[in-house]
Structures are given as structure tokens and as C-alpha cells.
Chain A
């Protein structure tokens, strides 16, 4: 069922990478044990800024997870064949991203040993409860889809019929996870930065930009490292999707800024002032807020000029810009600056500490390891399958390779 053995063979490069990730994870786990014994006081969070990097990164990763829908939907609903070779990569990315989300929540909890209380004493009026439900549901759905379709592909049979409705279900479900995550914030009365109806749309728009950006980067990397190519057309289509999403995201941000600054209601403006202008209070995150806005605007140029977007080198840089802009914006600033100023008007400094950052990197390393292992398995299957379709005349000429050899070869190269 899991085809784990395919992840157990690989080149030296593969193992060096895996061991490096495992080392990172081990170091981060050490810091986590420290956090567990000492308390969340090891982080830079405080009474006033009670959510920080962990919850920010959680929010951002929910977006990355939800963005799988941007390849699944065109492929399954509109029969967009270009995405045929990319869909499985997108789905696996979603599985890794959701796992990271759950880990970020877990490391942020003051009492992780009571995590099951959420299900033992379910509170249906709490958005957090529904967020847990939708995230775990999304995880189960995506694991099922990826395993079943990969299994069918490996055996060269049609996937079972029941998987189709599950795939269709995954589309609204993906939207729901990020909507519910936005509801976590926008349903809170006292935090004006978050209490806006466009938060969920903005979350989705930024998700559909950042997720595809990461997926494009991964596809380019996969092509560099292996013989698997998702195809230029797929990358171009995805880049177009990313462009639309990014434009909408910037548009929605401008809507927020207009509403705040034209109405000049202090409650609305002060968060933005502290985030982007620095005219309200000393904000340690000011340069980061400015950087993310700069990257967002700057990335629009290569995105909107088709010739630049089609150039893969420029596209790779653009994707990196989009991804990091949104990772800073959603993954740090939007969450942390919601607490600045606090309801009592205090500006509390927030600077993530070394343990906090190491644990965050550790969760990222878990995600990277999952992506590595998943892609290894998926690509081993895909490459072996493709290699086994060698035209008969090539067999005769001895040029072809059997599936088994191709498999072995692909294991070497992946």
C-alpha cells in the first residue's frame, strides 16, 4: 500500500539530503523537548503577542495545502490534460503541507498532551474545532487519493471507481480548509486587522499564488534532478493561474488599504501603519512587512509580461519572490501584526527566538522530507511505467530497457 521500499533505495545524493533533513529534525526535536519542559517561554511570544511564527506558518501552510486544488480542479473537472503529470505532485505536496500545519499547531500548544481534548469535548461553536476537523479530513482525503491513484498507476490498471467522487470532494474541501482558517481570524471581534470579510478571499488568493509557486519550483527541481518532466505547458498553465491569483491578492490588499486609509478610522489604519509605515509604535517586523509588499509588487512585473513568464529562469526567480513574499506576509506579519497594537494600545516587540526558529525550520524539514520521500516513490513509479512503454522495435534492437532495469536506473537517478 505504501510502496515505502521505493524510498529505501537511492543515490548517494538522495541519502545525503535525507540524512541532512533528519539531522535538522533531530536538532529541532531537541529544542522542542526543551520547549516542552521549560514552557513556551522559550519563544518570543508574549502576553500581548500571543501567537507568533508557529501559527503564522500554520496559516501559510494551510494555503499551500489548499492550493493543490489548482491542479486537481483543472485536471479532473475541466479535463485539462496538461496537468496529467503534475497532479500527483500537487496532491503529495498537499499531504506534506497539511502534516506541517498539524505539526505547527502541535508545537504551538501549551499542553500538547491534551490535544485529544478537542475531540473528547468537541465545541461546535469553536472555529478551531472545525479547523481541526477540516484539516484532518483533508489529510485523509489526500492520502487516500494519492495512494490509490499511484497504486493503480503502478499496476497499470484503472483506479477504482469510488475514487472519483473522493477527488471531486477534495476540491470544495480544499477551499474549505483555508476558508475555515480565515474564519479563525476574521470572526474575532477585537482584532481589526483580521476582522474583515475579504480575509478569506485574500487567504485563498494568496494561497493559490504561493502554492503553485512552490509547485513550479519543485517541478523545475524534479526535472533538473531526474528524468521526470511535467512539461512546459503544465508549468506555463500553472504560472498563469499563479499570476491571476497574485493579481487578485494584491488587489484585495489594496482594497484593505483603501478602506482603512480613506475612511481614516484609527482602528483600521493603525495596524497597517505599524506594519508597513512604522508610524505607529516601534514594530520589529517593519522591514519584513515592507519587504513582502515590495516583493509582491515587484513579482507582478515578470508575472504580467508573458515573455518573461515563459522564460523558465525568470519564472523560477519570480516564483521564489511570490513564495517568499507571501510566506512573510501571511506566515509572519499578518498574524503577528494583528496583535500590534494590542487591545490596550501597547506595542509589544516580537522577535522569534533561536529555539522557536529552529523548531519552525524543523517542521519545514519534516515537510521537505515528506515531499522528498513522496516524490521519490511517485517518480519511481511514474518513470518505471513510462520506461516500460518502449516500442517493440527498440526491444529488438536492444536499445530499450525493461521496466525492471528502468526502475533500477530511475532509482539511481532520483
Chain B
């Protein structure tokens, strides 16, 4: 049901964009107003979210630890999995962000009929699917710089050369185009076919997947099948980023679908689960060092406690202690 409604929603948006592209008076709305509004929502929303997270107090030191904590010198600690230094945290974050370390640890529990026994086994498919999707996404987003930037930066062309290594058709097939769609379809089928995952899947989970699929498919269709005028696309894109928007005569109906869905994604991102893009940096379980044995982590809303340390106590009663013949730490 959740899947169906979100699918229908994306279909409706697609249909509206398709129809809007046909009406010339709507083009200004779709070509100019919508992208600006979406971008504004994206930037403001994301900054708002990050600042809100940043201003939330962190009462406890709660890093997730997956290895031996730093303790005594002769116990080997794992400085990345249970980082106690800033460097360790940075490396751990980098591995998490670039390689999805915690998904790599993903496991699956199942009950086998023999026994019956409860078995835990590692399961890397989700990790592989997620990695394939996110990296392709990054490459694809960077690739789109060629529309916004003139002259096109070298590294974009170099990336394109690697991505389009295989000489299949013209324009040459880009591997990431295939990978992103396969990965998204895998992630979708995982939600639909695994009853446990399906049970916990919400409308928003499906919406994100269908939205991304819609964007990817409309892009692929435009590149390989229903061609659009790239020169006009680039003019529009540069017009947008230089704040002197122009509305090209015609680009192709599919382009409006693509642009509308991307705008939808941009505007929706800060208010959805997709904002993990920024949130990952601010998760206390990831960004805090596991140094509770070395550093005192103070709860920011603790009222000031008057502390009377041993040194102070010893100084206060120095003479009396000495007189009683008791040992002193400091003579």
C-alpha cells in the first residue's frame, strides 16, 4: 500500500511535468521558478537542519564502539573501530562515509527448520547495493556539472572517459547509468520481497526510491532514446546559475519530467530521511571519540557543582593530619 501510493505520487508528478512542458506558459514555471524555489528550499532547509542538530546538547559520550577501547598500554586497542583520538574519529568517519563501514557489518537472522535453530549470518547485499547506488549517484551529480560550468572542468571529462570506457552505442553507454538503476531496483525489491523489511517500510522509504528511480530513468531515456537539445539545456542551466534565466524555446518533454523530479528531490531532501547526507556528520554515535576514560564529558545542562577536591581537603586539614601522624600526599 505504502509502495503503491508513493509510486502513484511520483507518477502524478511525472504526468504534471509532462503536461506542463507542453503548455508554453507553464515553461517559465517549470524551467525557472521551480528550480530556484527547490534550490532555495534545499539550501535553507539543510542549513536549518544542520544548525538545529548542532545546537542540540550532547549530554552523554555515546560513541558506538566496535573494537577494544583504549585502556592499559599493554592491551592492544583498535584506534579506528573504537577511536579515542581526533584522527581516529576522522578516519572512522571517512570509512563510514566513503565505504559504509556499518552496513558492511550488516547481518541477517533467520530460523532454520532443522533444529529449529536461530542462525545469524553476515549479509553483504545491502552494503553492496547501497555502495553501488551512492557512488554512482556521486559520479552522476558531478557529471552534471558539465551543464552548469563553462568551460567544462578537466576532471569531469576525465571521469566521463572512465565511466564511458566501453564503446557501446552512441553516445557511449555510461557504466554508472546502468549501475544506479540496477542498484535502485535491488534496493526496491529488497523492501518489497523481504517480509521483515517490508513490514518496517514506510511511505517515505518508497517515495525516496521511486523518486530516485524516476530521475535516473528519465535521465537515461533522455541520454539514449528520446534525445533532447543539449545546447538548450546548457543555456538554461547557465542562465539559472548566473541569475539571468532564459527560457529556451523547446528542449523536449522528457526534460521537464527530469527537471521537475530533481526539483522535487532537492526541496524534499532536507525534510526527509535523505538528509542523512548531512546528518551523518553530526551523529554523536559516530563523531565522538571513545575517550571517556581520559576526558571528562560534561553534560551541558548540569548546574554548576561545587567541587571540593582531595588536594583542597588535604590543604585545609594539613596541620591536623600531620599532627595525627597520618600520611600526606604532599608534604
Contact = CB atoms under 8 A, between A and B. Distances in A.
B166 interface: yes
A189 B288 CA distance: 71
Nearest to A8: B104
Contacts of B119: 155, 157
B124 A116 contact: no
B125 A120 contact: no
Contacts of A399: none
B104 A5 contact: yes
Interface string B105-122: 100000010100101011
A4 B167 contact: no
A115 B166 contact: yes
B325 to A, nearest CB: 48
Nearest to B123: A1
B170 to A, nearest CB: 13
Interface in B90-135: 104-105, 112, 114, 117, 119, 121-125
B124 A154 contact: no
A151 interface: yes
Interface string B46-71: 00000000000000000000000000
Contacts of A116: 166, 168
Given A1-B125, A2-B124, A157-B119, A120 B104 contact: no
B224 to A, nearest CB: 14
Given A116-B166, A120-B168, A157-B112, A151 B124 contact: no
A111 B105 CA distance: 39
Given A1-B125, A4-B124, A5-B122, A113 B166 contact: yes
Interface size class of A (residues with CB under 8 A): 10 to 19
A111 B167 contact: yes
A115 B173 CA distance: 13
A120 B167 CA distance: 11
A114 interface: yes
A155 B121 contact: yes
A257 B202 CA distance: 74
A39 to B, nearest CB: 16
B124 A114 contact: no
Contacts of B165: 113
B190 to A, nearest CB: 13
Nearest to A120: B168
Q: Which of A1, A120, A151 gathers the greatest number of chain B CB atoms within 10 Å?
A: A1
A151 B121 contact: yes
A153 B207 CA distance: 40
Nearest to B125: A1
A3 B166 contact: no
A158 interface: yes
Nearest to B113: A157
Nearest to A151: B121
A155 B118 CA distance: 10
B138 to A, nearest CB: 22
B122 A3 contact: yes
Contacts of A115: 166
Contacts of A151: 121
Interface of B: 104-105, 112, 114, 117, 119, 121-125, 165-168
Interface of A: 1-5, 111, 113-116, 120, 151, 154-155, 157-158
5 contacts: A1-B124, A1-B125, A5-B105, A157-B114, A157-B119
